[in-house]
Amino acid sequence: MFFFSKSNKLYFILFFILIIFIPCFFVPIYSNNSITDNFNIELSDSGFCWPTPSSHRITSQFGYRNIVVSGATSYHAGVDIGASSGSDILAVCDSKVYYTGFYGSGGYTIILKNDNYTIYYHHVSPNILVKKGDKVSAGQLIGKVGPKNVYGVPNNPYKDSNGNPTNGATTGPHLHITIKKDGKAVNPLNYI
């Protein structure tokens, strides 16, 4: 007789809603980092995506420029995207990880290769999320924008005005991305 009284029916309905129905809206969705869940990834006509979902601010264009920091060249073979340290960095295309580590003026670097393209991500966090040989997909999280200063790199010649070691030739956190097609640097903005 428990389920047949009016008040008990109401409790049963409330119990059903709370225990069965509501959790359906709160089921966690797990990701293997192949596509960043927080951002809408759109591929360009060339099959590339934007590398920093949290920022589209270009701080240095492709091509000739005034040298802004010791160790940098006047020909800028990529673009700089101003982004906060710790911001997500995505693989711009399906590719394979060719190199990870400290790479001279580029600081901590991830290099990806795909057919006739080589993509360089410079000034990334030392805590790189991929390793050499990994296959990555366009939109996959591969690293984070690095800090200005990094420590523990043997013989790092790059320093800020206070003498602290920097993440390559840099004045602050950002992502430098270079895309080479058949070994020649091309303007990344024509692809991403």
Check pLDDT > 60 for residue 2. no
Q: List the domain boundaries for the chain.
A: 1-30, 58-190
Q: 67-91, pLDDT tens digit by residue?
A: 555 445 566 678 999 999 999 999 9
CATH topology for 58-190 is Glucose Permease (Domain IIA) (2.70.70)
Check pLDDT > 70 for residue 28. no
Check pLDDT > 60 for residue 20. no
Confidence of residue 16 (pLDDT cuts 50, 70, 90): low
> What pLDDT does residue 29 have?
37
What are the distances in angstroms from CA 32 to CA 96, 110, 136, 186?
A: 17, 20, 11, 31
Among the residue ranges 43-47, 69-73, 114-118, 124-128, the one predicted with the least confidence is: 69-73
> What pLDDT does residue 19 have?
55
Rounded to a whole number of angstroms, the CA Rg of the chain reads 23
Q: 133-155, pLDDT tens digit by residue?
A: 999 999 999 999 999 999 999 99
- DSSP annotation of 79 reads E
Confidence of residue 64 (pLDDT cuts 50, 70, 90): confident
Counting residues of the chain whose pLDDT is more than 70, the rounded percentage is 72
> What pLDDT does residue 154 have?
93
Task: Report the helix count and the strand count for the chain, using DSSP H and E.
Answer: 1, 12
What does the pLDDT average to over 21-33? Answer: 43
**How many Å apart are CA 143 and CA 158, to the nearest integer?**
22
What does the pLDDT average to over 41-62? Answer: 87
